[in-house]
Amino acid sequence: MSNNSLSEAVVLAKTGAKTLLDVRHLHCWGEEFGDISIVARMANVEVLSLSANKISHLQPMRACLKLKELYLRHNQIASVAELQWLRKLPELRSLWLSDNPVTALPNYRLQVIALLPQLQILDNLVVGAAERSAIPPSSRPVQKSPPTQTGLPTNPACRNCQHHDPHESHLKQHVEQQPPPRSSASPAAPATPPVSPKVSVVGPSVERPSANNGSPTKTAPSAPLQAVLVLLPLLSKNEQLHVLHALQRQQPQQ
């Protein structure tokens, strides 16, 4: 390992920790370290004091999720983009970058505050509300909206609109309450009422003796009987049978 690399042995010697995971505070001022890759294995570190070194890359620090204070004065950080590796450190509150090339950039403080909104102190100065409001809207971090529920709720526990998910819509209830959509096609013809099974019915005729040979002849049914025969197909089969039986009983006895 080169002389400008921060090693595990140096870290454990300076902190007195048994392992890298036990390190909470590390102070390495003026050691001319340029390679700090070992920091990626210090997941529980809370304070890093690495001023007066030759650090230009901050990627290893993205693994230090518990980092609260970071001191990097007198190093070689030249771009605000290098600070992107600190964006996902939720507990980072204090950052000191004085005497790095990046501090000479126009609107340096506003750029850093926009990139790292969790900061409360930058270069030993409190980040005030005036500075945060001065950040152009285009530079502010985009807040992602919660996903929209587009389908019908499928959670069996969701009944009577008592959803466990606050973003879950009440679409199912609303769909059930909506009337069926009107069709753009022409209205359908009314349904034809079911027709009773056709029964071949011949109206009873009155048989009268023939004037010539005495054989009976059939005469046409009377007007009331014709009216009954007209209405007969509209009745059910059982009703038709009852009517026919009644008519037969009314025939004159021979």
Q: What is the pTM of this model?
A: 0.54
Percentage of the chain beyond pLDDT 90 is: 49
Percentage of the chain beyond pLDDT 70 is: 58
Give the pLDDT confidence score for residue 134 in this predicted structure: 83
Give the pLDDT confidence score for residue 85 in this predicted structure: 97
- Residue 203 pLDDT level (bands cut at 50, 70, 90): very low
Question: Would you tell me which CATH number, out of the four given (3.40.50.2300, 3.40.190.10, 3.20.20.70, 3.80.10.10), belongs to the domain 8-138?
Answer: 3.80.10.10
Give the pLDDT confidence score for residue 205 in this predicted structure: 46
**Mean pLDDT taken over the chain:** 75
Tell which wins on pLDDT, 181 or 73. 73
SS (H, E, C) 126-137: ECCHHHHHCCCH
Integer Cα distance of 65 and 133 in angstroms:
27
Mean pLDDT of the region 53-73: 97
Structure-block tokens of residue 5: 């690399």
The domain ranges of the chain are: 8-138, 199-209+217-254
Give the pLDDT confidence score for residue 232 in this predicted structure: 67
Angle formed by the axes of helices 223-231 and 237-249, nearest 10° = 160
**What is the 3-state composition of the chain as percent helix, strand, coil, each rounded to the nearest 5?**
30, 10, 60
Give the pLDDT confidence score for residue 10 in this predicted structure: 95
Tokens 């600070």 sit at which residue? 83
Tell which wins on pLDDT, 145 or 5. 5
